[in-house]
Structure 1
Amino acid sequence: MTCPTCRPANEPSAAKTSTTNLGPVQVTALNLHPVKSTAIRRVDSAYVGLAGLRGDREWMIVDDAGDMVSAREINQLFTIVADTPQTGGTADLTLSAPGTEPLEISFPYAGRLAPARLFTRPHTQVRYAGPAADRWLAGVLGRDDLHLVWCEDPLQRSLNPQFSRPEDHAVFQDGYPVTLASTTSAALLSDWAGKDLAVQRFRANVVIDGNEAFVEDTWTSVRIGDVPFRVAKAVDRCVMTTIDPVSLDRSKEPIATLAKHRRWDGKTWFAIHLIPDAEGEIHVGDEVTPA
Structure 2
Amino acid sequence: MEAQFSGKTTFEGAEFKGAAFFKNCTFPESPTDNLNIFRATRFRELASFRDVEISSFAAFNEARFSKSLILHDPGEKRAAELWKNALNAAKAEVKGEDKAREAYFGALQGGCRVLKQEMEKIADQSREHRYFRYELIARRHRTGISWAEKVASQIYGALSDYGHSIGRPLLWLGGLFLLMILGVFLIAPIEAETLGFNLTASPHPVLADSFALSWQNIFKPGAVWDARFPDTVPALAAAFHGPGLPLWLKSFSTLQSALSLLLIFLSGVAIRRKFRIS
Question: Which TM-score bucket, shorter chain as reference?
Answer: under 0.3
Q: Which has the larger radius of gyration?
A: 2
More contact order relative to length (CA 8 Å, sep ≥ 6): 1
TM-score, reference length from structure 1:
0.21
Q: Which has the higher strand share?
A: 1
Q: Which has the higher helix share?
A: 2
